[in-house]
Structure 1
Amino acid sequence: MNLNITGHHVEVTQSIREYVTTKLDKVIRHFDNVTSVSVILSVEKLKQKAEVTVHVRGKDLFVESEESDLYAAIDGMIDKLDRQILKHKQKSADHDREALKHQSPEA
C-alpha cells in the first residue's frame, strides 16, 4: 500500500505522520484491497482540514473533515473513512452473495 501524506500551509511533522499512519492502519485492516492512500492536511485561517482518498479495487473513497484542531480533524476523517470502508465492504459482500445466488446450478 502506498501512503502519501502532504501538507498545505502546514508542516507535516514526524508526530503528525505517525498519528495519521497509526490511525489509518486500524481502519485499513478492515479491507485488504487498498492499493494507495493519499492524505492532505491543510490550514485555512482558523480551520484545520484533513482529507483522504483511498484507492480500492474498483472504487475511490474520499473523505474530508474540518475542525478547529488538526488532530480532531484527523480523528473525524478517520471515523468517516471507517464507516465508508465498512459500507463498501458490506456492499461488495452483498453483491458477491447475490451473484452466487443467481448462478444456475450445473446439471
Structure 2
Amino acid sequence: MKIKLSGHHVDISDGIKQYVDEKFSKISSHFPTLISLDIIIAKEHGDYEVEIRTNYEGSKISATGADHVMYPAIAKAAKKLDAALSHRKGHLKGKLHEKPTVTTPEIAHEIIQEMNLT
C-alpha cells in the first residue's frame, strides 16, 4: 500500500514516517485491495489534526483525528479509518447475499382456502 504523507506547519521526520507505517500496516493486511492513502498532518491553534483520505471499492472514505500531541492524533485517525473501511466492507458483503424468496407454491394457498376448518 502506498502512503502519501504530507505536513502543514509540521516537519515530517523519519520517526513520524515509521510510526505511520506501523499504524497502517494492520489496515493494509485487513484490506488488501486498498491501494493508497493520503495523509495530511496539520498543526492548527496548538492542536494536531490528521486527515486521511482514500478510495476503497469505488467509494471515497476519509477519517480525521485531533489531539494536543501528534501521535495520539494519528492513532485516532487510524482507528476511525479502520472502522469506516470495515463498515464499507460490510456493505459490500451484504450485497452479495440474495434476499430470501417465498417458497410456498400458490396452489397451497388455494387448498387451504377450500378446507372447512370448523
Q: Scaled by the length of structure 1, what TM-score is found?
A: 0.86
What does 1:1-107 align with in structure 2 at a 5 Å threshold? 1-98=1-98
Per-residue deviation, 1:31: 1.3
CA distance in 1, matches of 2:94, 2:35: 22
- Deviations 1:34-79 (Å, cap 9, x if unpaired)? 1211000010121101110122220111001111110010010011
Matched residues, number: 101
User: Tell me, which stretches of 5 or more residues in structure 2 are unaligned?
Assistant: 102-118
Q: Scaled by the length of structure 2, what TM-score is found?
A: 0.79
Could you tell me whether the CA contact under 8 Å between 2:56 and 2:85 is conserved in 1? no
Is the strand fraction higher in 1 or 2?
1
Higher-RCO chain (CA-CA 8 Å, sequence separation at least 6): 1
Root mean square deviation, CA, Å:
1.6
Q: Which runs of 4+ in 1 moved over 2 A?
A: none
Letter in 2 for 1:36: S
Could you tell me whether the CA contact under 8 Å between 1:51 and 1:63 is conserved in 2? yes
